[in-house]
Structure 1
Amino acid sequence: MSTTVKISEAKAHLSELLARVEAGEEVIIARGNAPIARLTAIDERRQRLAAIEAVRAIRARAKPVTQEEIREWREEGRRY
């Protein structure tokens, strides 16, 4: 569910609006009738899971690497 509030109302009731966002509500802030911002709760767990899935997708497309290649890369970094 979302609620739209004008900027002046958002300024006056920011703490209340943030409590509503924490409870799962979405708040749209508007200048006049034009929406300009959206307040939503940050779901850090969902963001972490999305990042993990993105890494897994990249790794799935990558070609396999041999142990010899890994050793060469490690030694290459030690040469300088």
Structure 2
Amino acid sequence: NNIYVLFFPFHSSHILQPLDISIFSPLYQYYIAEINEFIHVNGYYTHIIQANIFPIVQQACKKALTKANIIHGFKYTGIYLFN
């Protein structure tokens, strides 16, 4: 039936925590801010169409995917580079 069961091995969620802290959380916050800015500039009753989504996501990614954010996420979760 093409059913694939995916799971995380026990005690491995800490490997993904830096992404939650340094990437996904700020990306979500910046995405919401960009949506609000779009609505503010274009009017409250403006429809967000598919053509508008890419520039909004692109701006949110530019703000969230920074070297400083990524390094902070790893440091915050206690994962450090060896060198």
TM-score by length of 1: 0.27
Pick 1 or 2: higher relative contact order, CA cutoff 8 A, min separation 6. 2
Q: Which has the larger radius of gyration?
A: 1
Higher normalized helix content (fraction of residues):
2
Higher normalized strand content (fraction of residues):
1
TM-score by length of 2: 0.26
